[in-house]
Amino acid sequence: MDVTIPGIPAEYDAYRERLQAFLASHRPMIKMPPMVGVRMPESRADLEGLRGWVASLHDAGFVLTRFTEEPGDPFEQRILEEELAASGLPYILGNPLVAGAIKMFGTPEQRHRYLPPIARGDHIWTQLFSEPDAGSDLASLKTRARRDGDDYVVDGQKVWSTWAPFADFGYLLARSEAEPGPRGITAFILDMRSEGVETRPLREMTGTADFSEVFFDGVRVPAANVIGAPGEGWKVANASLAVERGGVGGLDSDDVVHGLVRLARNHRRGGRPALEDSAVRQQLAAFAARARIQRALGYRVATKAAAGTSDVWDAPLMKIWGSELNLETAEYGLELQGARSALSDADPLVAEGGHWQDAFLYARALTIAGGSNEIMRNLIAERGLGLPREPRGA
171 and 293 fall within a common domain: no
Single residue among 35, 70, 93 that ends a domain in this structure: 93
CA dihedral 64, 69, 71, 77 (to 10 degrees): 0
Instruction: Classify residue 377: in a domain, yes or no.
Output: yes
Instruction: Classify residue 25: in a domain, yes or no.
Output: yes
Instruction: Classify residue 2: in a domain, yes or no.
Output: no
- pLDDT at residue 2, rounded to an integer: 62
Active site residues: 244
Q: Which tens digit of pLDDT belongs to each residue from 47-98?
A: 898 999 999 999 999 999 888 888 888 889 889 988 988 887 788 899 888 9
* CATH code where residue 139 lies: 2.40.110.10
Instruction: Classify residue 241: in a domain, yes or no.
Output: no
Instruction: Classify residue 238: in a domain, yes or no.
Output: no
| Residue type at 90 in one-letter notation | P
Single residue among 43, 75, 93 that ends a domain in this structure: 93
155 and 276 fall within a common domain: no
Distance CA 154, CA 250 (A): 35
Question: Where do the H-state alpha helices sit in the chain?
Answer: 13-26, 44-59, 74-86, 97-105, 108-120, 233-249, 253-266, 278-307, 314-337, 355-368, 373-379
Helix (H, G, I), strand (E, B) or coil at 253: helix
Q: Print the domain residue range for 372.
A: 250-384
Instruction: Classify residue 72: in a domain, yes or no.
Output: yes
269 and 345 fall within a common domain: yes
pLDDT in tens, the chain (394 residues): 566 667 788 999 999 999 999 999 998 887 776 777 777 888 888 889 899 999 999 999 999 988 888 888 888 988 998 898 888 778 889 988 899 999 999 999 999 999 999 999 999 999 999 999 876 677 889 999 999 999 999 999 999 899 999 999 999 999 999 888 889 999 999 999 999 999 999 988 888 888 899 999 999 999 999 999 999 999 998 878 765 555 544 556 778 899 999 999 999 888 899 999 999 999 999 999 999 999 888 888 777 776 778 888 888 888 899 999 999 999 999 999 988 888 887 888 888 888 899 899 989 888 887 778 898 899 899 988 899 987 765 5
Q: Which tens digit of pLDDT belongs to each residue from 156-177?
A: 999 989 999 999 999 999 999 9
Instruction: Classify residue 114: in a domain, yes or no.
Output: no
216 and 257 fall within a common domain: no
The count of other CB atoms within 10 Å of the CB of residue 369 is 21
207 and 163 fall within a common domain: yes
What b-and-e string marks burial along 41-63, b requiring 16 or more CB atoms within 10 Å of the CB? Answer: beeeebbebbbebbebbbeeebb
86 and 140 fall within a common domain: no
What b-and-e string marks burial along 216-226, b requiring 16 or more CB atoms within 10 Å of the CB? Answer: beebebeeebb
Number of domains comprising the chain: 3
Angle 261-264-267 from CA coordinates, rounded to 5°: 150
255 and 374 fall within a common domain: yes
225 and 351 fall within a common domain: no
Can you give the pTM of this predicted structure?
Answer: 0.81
266 and 352 fall within a common domain: yes
CB 128 within 8 A of CB 95: no
Distance CA 37, CA 142 (A): 29
Strands 211-222 and 151-162: antiparallel
- Going by C-alpha positions, the residue among 224, 134, 125 that lies closest to residue 174 is 134
264 and 334 fall within a common domain: yes
Instruction: Classify residue 164: in a domain, yes or no.
Output: yes
- pLDDT at residue 30, rounded to an integer: 77
- Going by C-alpha positions, the residue among 255, 254, 329 that lies closest to residue 294 is 254
Single residue among 44, 69, 93 that ends a domain in this structure: 93
| Residue type at 256 in one-letter notation | V
Distance CA 96, CA 70 (A): 17
Helix (H, G, I), strand (E, B) or coil at 92: coil
262 and 223 fall within a common domain: no
185 and 83 fall within a common domain: no
* CATH code where residue 266 lies: 1.20.140.10
CB 124 within 8 A of CB 167: yes
Distance CA 176, CA 170 (A): 17
- pLDDT at residue 244, rounded to an integer: 56
